[in-house]
Amino acid sequence: MTTLVVPAWFTDWVSAAEELVVKWGASLQDAMSREAQAAREKEARIILGQAEVKIAHLFAQAAQSYEHKPTALHLRAMNILYEGLKEKGALMLVPSTAVESMGLGGSLGAAAMRQQALSEDRDASKPVNGPVV
């Protein structure tokens, strides 16, 4: 059973009514429930669609700003990779063509060689404990 509380202004139309008890049939309650759910789903889809349109416009603006700035686009791509990989245990598959176009192969190779040279320099500068053979 559903209880419907009637506002005070309604009492002009229904004399001496403070509370009105309405018994809805089960099928009517079910139909009203389905209608309300459909309305909520429709509103959610409209909101989602509006968000998609805004996002598409923002992506179009971003594409225009990167159109004649390949270095900026590569920096953005590297930032996206960094953001995706900074989480623990993250794995990201990147096509070799993307790595080549960003010039990461040479950069990463140079960085690895520099790290190895630094490591060798540290090892060479460590004092040797014990007899030297």
pLDDT confidence tier of residue 113, bands split at 50, 70 and 90: confident
Q: What is the pLDDT of residues 56-83, one digit of tens each?
A: 999 999 999 988 988 888 888 888 888 8
CA–CA dist 73, 79 (Å, integer): 10
Q: What region, left, alpha or beta, does residue 28 occupy, with left being phi > 0 and alpha being psi -120 to 50 degrees? A: alpha
| Average pLDDT over all residues of the chain | 78
pLDDT of residue 2: 62
Tell me which of 6 and 44 has the higher pLDDT: 44
pLDDT of 107 > 80? The answer is: no
Q: What region, left, alpha or beta, does residue 88 occupy, with left being phi > 0 and alpha being psi -120 to 50 degrees? A: beta
Tell me which of 34 and 104 has the higher pLDDT: 34
- Range 37-47 average pLDDT: 96
State the number of CA atoms in the 13 A half-sphere of 105 facing the CB: 8
Closest CA relative to residue 23, chosen from 38, 2, 6: 2
Domain ranges of the chain: 70-123
